[in-house]
Structure formats: C-alpha cells, structure tokens
Amino acid sequence: MDHPELHQKAFLWLLLAVSLAFGWILWPFYGALFWGTVLAILFAPFHRKLVRAMPGRPNLAALTTLLLSLVIVIFPLALIAAALVQEGTAVYQEIRSGTLDFGAYFQQIVSALPPWIVRLLNRFDVGNLMALQEKLSAAAAQGSQMIATRAFTIGQNTFEFVISFGIMLYLLFFFLRDGRALTLKIKRAIPLSGEHKHNLFGKFTTVIRATVKGNIAVAAVQGALGGLIFWILGIHSPLVWGVVMAFLSLLPAIGAALIWAPVAIYFLLTGAIWQGLVLIVFGVLVIGLVDNVLRPILVGKDTQMPDYVVLISTLGGLALFGLNGFVIGPVIAALFIAAWDLFSSTVLDSNDV
C-alpha cells in the first residue's frame, strides 16, 4: 500500500540531508562562492547590455564582463594590498627596533596634561598612567607581532588563496553566463508565492549592490582622504593609516574618526596646534561629510534600513564572517526585515479579515 504523505516526508528529509551535505562540501570555499555571486550581481546590468549587443555569443559577453571586473575591482585591490604589505612590514620593523615607540608618544601626551587633570584621573583611579603606558607599549608590540604572524600565515596560505581566487573567477564566468537560468530555477524551487519571491529576491540584489557599491565607495574615498591629509601633515605611514581608516569607515557614524581624532588630540596636546586644528577641520568637514552625504545616498536610500540596524548588522557580520561580513550582515538584516514585512502584510492581515 502506498503512503503518499510518508513518501513526501521522506523525500523532504532526503532533500534536506543532501542539501546540507552539499553545503558542507562547499563551505571551505564559501568566500569564493560568495564573492563570485556578489560580483555577478554587481556586473549583471553591464553583462545584460553586452548580451543584447552580442546576440548568440554568451561566452564572449561573460568573458568580457569578467575581464572588466578584473580591471575595475580586482587589479586595483591587488596593487593596494601589495603596497600595504610592503609599508606594513616597514612599520613592523620600526616597532621592533624601537624607532616607532607608541609608549613615548603616550608619555608626550601625559607630560602635556595640566597637573589638575592628572590629579583628577588619579582620584578616580584611572590615572595610573605609567601602567597605562606599559599596557600601550605591550599592545603595540603585540599588534606588530600579530601583523607579522598574519603576514607569515598569508605567505603560507598563498596556494590556498590562489585556488580560491581561481574558483571565484571560474564561478563568476558561469554565474554571468547562466545567471538568469540559475535564478529562475532557484525561484521555482522556493515554495513561496510569486509576489513573495519577487520581493525577497529584489531586496537581496538591491542590498548587495547598495552595500558593496556604497560601502566600498565610502571606504575608498574616506581612506584616500585620510591618507592624503596624514601625508600632508607628515604623519608616519599614511598608506597604512589610510587603509585602516578605509576599513573602519565600513562602520557607519564612527568609522575613520577612530584614527584621525586621537591623532588630532595628540597634536593639540603636544603643541602642534595648527596640525591638530587642520586635522580636526578636515576630519569633520571633509572626511565626515563623505560619510554623511555619500552613505545615505548609496546605502541607506536603497536598503531602506536605519543607520543603527546597518551598524549592528555590519559589526555582527564582521565578528562572525570576517571581512565578508560587511556584506553578509546587512543582507541578512535586510532579508529579516523584508520577511517580517511580508508576514505582517499577508498572514496578519488575512487574520484580521
């Protein structure tokens, strides 16, 4: 005797098991898969134009789009990474040799503080400045050691990186060429109504494009401006600090100020008044203006998420997934909001009727 319901349940369990097993197999290269998907979504509009301009030549259109992504995105990032490794290695050597002493910089700040501030800090038991200086020096040494360890690890994992990079390019080619067909298959397989699938897929692609284009644009501009003003003011290793500010600018509202603000305070306390004032004015009116103007236009407007949701989801994504998390976090947050909006507009409304 056949049991259709039993057969359907068994098939669903089988489908879940093989899907989890397939995901487990792909997990070591999830970064290559993820960024291949992201780049395919970003360059999909250009690829569609090429397909219309090259009828009957899908391989050539996909290959041309792939080469464009290399020129616009990947090659510039590779050049910046190479320059950063070179300058970061020089900074590490200077920290090890004592040429660059963060403890000495801190001591200059302490010496410039008025005595009543030192006494006030001691009264609230936060003024053990010598211990704080020792901790700062130890943190700088530990940080430099971590940088060296990371560099060594990167060198050891060069082969793995090359494999992942090759897989990403390989997947990107086929995602571009067969992306529309793959999307239709995925949509048909998802057991939701056509309207719900359209809304969720639309939100997914919109958030990825807005997050990647917006955040990278803001990060690149803020990092470049921060590195430029550091170079003009003669601050050590402007490229390193510019890249650090670029990464920190992925966090809305705070971002690059975590770097330039302490440096400006250091200038003011050590008597370099005009350098400190220039850095504060430039940081607030130029670097800060980029965040306040570009980010809402490129990110918030399209994602339709509040800044605090973007901030929390970005921090959580970075904590769980590393650098990939600055995209994964906001995407999950946007899908969460979209799914609950759909639920409230359908299920709850139907119950009210």
Q: Is the pLDDT of residue 154 over 60?
A: no
- Distance (Å, whole) CA 7 – CA 10: 5
- Distance (Å, whole) CA 268 – CA 261: 11
Q: Residue 210: its pLDDT value, please?
A: 75
Q: Is the pLDDT of residue 311 over 70?
A: yes
Q: Answer for the pair 270, 112: CB distance below 8 angstroms, yes or no.
A: yes
Mean pLDDT, residues 5-22: 82
User: Looking at 94-108, 270-284, 332-346, which range is the least confident one?
Assistant: 94-108
Can you say whether the dihedral through the CA atoms of 72, 74, 80, 86 is positive or negative? negative
Nearest CA to 265 among 95, 143, 91, 112?
112
User: Looking at 56-65, 101-110, 211-220, which range is the least confident one?
Assistant: 101-110
Mean pLDDT, residues 153-167: 68
Q: Is the pLDDT of residue 280 over 60?
A: yes
CA distances from 117 to 83, 84, 120, 234 (A): 42, 39, 5, 29
Mean pLDDT, residues 245-259: 76
Q: At what angle do helices 44-53 and 58-69 cross, to 10 degrees?
A: 140
Can you say whether the dihedral through the CA atoms of 236, 238, 242, 243 is positive or negative? negative
Q: Answer for the pair 307, 252: CB distance below 8 angstroms, yes or no.
A: yes
pTM listed for this prediction: 0.68
- Provide the percentage of residues in the chain whose pLDDT is more than 90: 1
pLDDT in tens, 169-196: 888 899 888 888 888 887 787 777 777 7
- Provide the percentage of residues in the chain whose pLDDT is more than 70: 68
Q: Residue 12: its pLDDT value, please?
A: 81
Nearest CA to 47 among 219, 183, 197?
183
Greatest mean pLDDT among 40-44, 252-256, 296-300: 40-44
Q: Answer for the pair 270, 109: CB distance below 8 angstroms, yes or no.
A: yes
Collapsed DSSP state (helix, strand, coil) of residue 324: helix
Mean pLDDT, residues 207-213: 76
- Where residue 319 falls among pLDDT bands split at 50, 70, 90? confident
User: Looking at 223-237, 239-253, 260-274, 293-307, which range is the least confident one?
Assistant: 293-307
What distance, in Å, lies between the first and last C-alpha atoms of the chain? 42
Q: Residue 332: its pLDDT value, please?
A: 84
Q: How many residues does the chain have?
A: 353
Q: Residue 2: its pLDDT value, please?
A: 56
- Distance (Å, whole) CA 321 – CA 218: 21
Helix spans in the chain (H)? 4-26, 30-42, 44-53, 58-69, 75-97, 102-112, 115-123, 129-156, 158-189, 194-232, 238-248, 257-269, 273-282, 288-295, 301-303, 307-321, 325-343, 349-352
Average pLDDT value over all residues in the chain:
75
Q: Residue 284: its pLDDT value, please?
A: 84
